[in-house]
Structure 1
Amino acid sequence: MGSFAGHALPGAFFMVFAVWWMVQFAYQRVALDHGRVKPRGRLFRALHRLPIEGVAVLLAGIIGFIAENFYPYPKWIIYDDDGKFANTHVWQHCAMYSFFSLYGIVVIFSKTCMPHAEKYTKLLGALAFFVEGMLFHFHTVGRPAIDVHLHNLLVLAISACMLFTLGEAFFPKEERFRIMRCTAALLQGTWFFQVGSVLYWPPSGKQWDDEDHSNLMFLTEAFIWHLLVDVCLIVLVYGISFLILKATGHSTLHYREMKTVDGRDNIEFGTTSLLDNGEPNAHDYDSE
Structure 2
Amino acid sequence: MPTSFLGSALRGTFFFIFGLWWSVRYPLKYLRQKGNAESRPSHGAQRVEIFEGAVKAFFALAGILVEQFVPAGPHLQLYSTKTHGWTDLAHWHYTTMYLFFLLSGIGDIVSHCRLKLPLGLDRLSLSVALFTEGLLFCFYDYGDALLDHHLHSLLAMAVFSGAFCALLEVFLRDHIILETFRTSSFLLQGSWFWQIGFVLSPPWGGPGWDQTDRSNFTFLTMCFCWHYVGTLAVLAANSAASRCCNESCQLRFQDVDVELDCGICRRGNKSSNSALLPESTLDDK
With the length of structure 1 as denominator, give the TM-score of the two structures.
0.79
**1:65 corresponds to which letter in structure 2?**
I
**How big is each residue's C-alpha offset from its partner over 1:47-79, in whole Å with a ceiling of 9 and x where there is no partner?**
752511100010011101111011124522111
Aligned to 2:215: 214
SS class of match (1:244): helix
With the length of structure 2 as denominator, give the TM-score of the two structures.
0.79
**How big is each residue's C-alpha offset from its partner over 1:174-232, in whole Å with a ceiling of 9 and x where there is no partner?**
32111111111111111011001101117795531222211110000000111111111
**1:78 corresponds to which letter in structure 2?**
L
Q: State the distance in 2 between where 1:73 and 1:105 align.
A: 29
Cα–Cα, structure 1 residues 167 and 34, in superposed 2: closer, same or farther, change >3 Å? farther
CA-based RMSD: 2.6
SS class of match (1:115): coil
Deviates more, 1:7-16 or 1:81-90: 81-90
CA contact (8 A) 1:3 1:200 kept: yes
Mapped pair 1:159 → 2:157: no
Equivalent pairs, count: 249
Q: State the distance in 2 between where 1:137 and 1:250 align.
A: 51
Q: Which has the larger radius of gyration?
A: 2
CA contact (8 A) 1:21 1:182 kept: yes
What's the % identity of the aligned pairs? 30
Q: State the distance in 2 between where 1:174 and 1:4 align.
A: 36
Mapped pair 1:235 → 2:216: no
CA contact (8 A) 1:58 1:101 kept: yes
Cα–Cα, structure 1 residues 175 and 130, in superposed 2: closer, same or farther, change >3 Å? same
Q: State the distance in 1 between where 2:72 and 2:244 align.
A: 48
**1:55 corresponds to which letter in structure 2?**
A
Aligned to 2:66: 67
CA contact (8 A) 2:73 2:91 kept: no
CA contact (8 A) 2:201 2:207 kept: no
**How big is each residue's C-alpha offset from its partner over 1:33-57, in whole Å with a ceiling of 9 and x where there is no partner?**
3873589xxxx96575251110001
SS class of match (2:120): helix
CA contact (8 A) 2:142 2:148 kept: no
**How big is each residue's C-alpha offset from its partner over 1:123-147, in whole Å with a ceiling of 9 and x where there is no partner?**
1111000000111112243141111
**1:49 corresponds to which letter in structure 2?**
R
Cα–Cα, structure 1 residues 140 and 195, in superposed 2: closer, same or farther, change >3 Å? farther
Mapped pair 1:55 → 2:15: no
**1:130 corresponds to which letter in structure 2?**
F
Aligned to 1:137: 138
**2:58 corresponds to which letter in structure 1?**
L
Q: State the distance in 1 between where 2:35 and 2:123 align.
A: 18
Alignment map for 1:4-43 (pairs within 5 Å): 4-33=5-34, 36=38
Q: State the distance in 2 between where 1:71 and 1:203 align.
A: 20
Cα–Cα, structure 1 residues 203 and 150, in superposed 2: closer, same or farther, change >3 Å? farther
Question: Which stretches of structure 1, 4 residues or more, deviate above 6 A after TM superposition?
Answer: none
Aligned to 1:78: 78
Q: State the distance in 1 between where 2:100 and 2:192 align.
A: 21
Q: State the distance in 1 between where 2:125 and 2:35 align.
A: 23
Q: State the distance in 2 between where 1:87 and 1:204 align.
A: 22
CA shift, 1:249, in A, is 2.7
**Which structure shows the higher helix fraction?**
2
Q: State the distance in 2 between where 1:201 and 1:74 align.
A: 20
CA contact (8 A) 1:140 1:147 kept: no
**How big is each residue's C-alpha offset from its partner over 1:96-137, in whole Å with a ceiling of 9 and x where there is no partner?**
111111111111112222233321111111100000011111
CA contact (8 A) 2:120 2:171 kept: no
Aligned to 2:275: none
SS class of match (1:7): helix
Q: State the distance in 1 between where 2:160 and 2:101 align.
A: 15
**2:67 corresponds to which letter in structure 1?**
E
**How big is each residue's C-alpha offset from its partner over 1:147-198, in whole Å with a ceiling of 9 and x where there is no partner?**
1111111111111111111111122253211111111111111101100110
SS class of match (2:211): coil
Q: State the distance in 2 between where 1:138 and 1:112 align.
A: 36
Cα–Cα, structure 1 residues 166 and 5, in superposed 2: closer, same or farther, change >3 Å? same
Alignment map for 1:113-192 (pairs within 5 Å): 113-192=114-193
Aligned to 2:281: none
Give the unaligned 5+ runs of structure 2.
254-285
**2:77 corresponds to which letter in structure 1?**
I
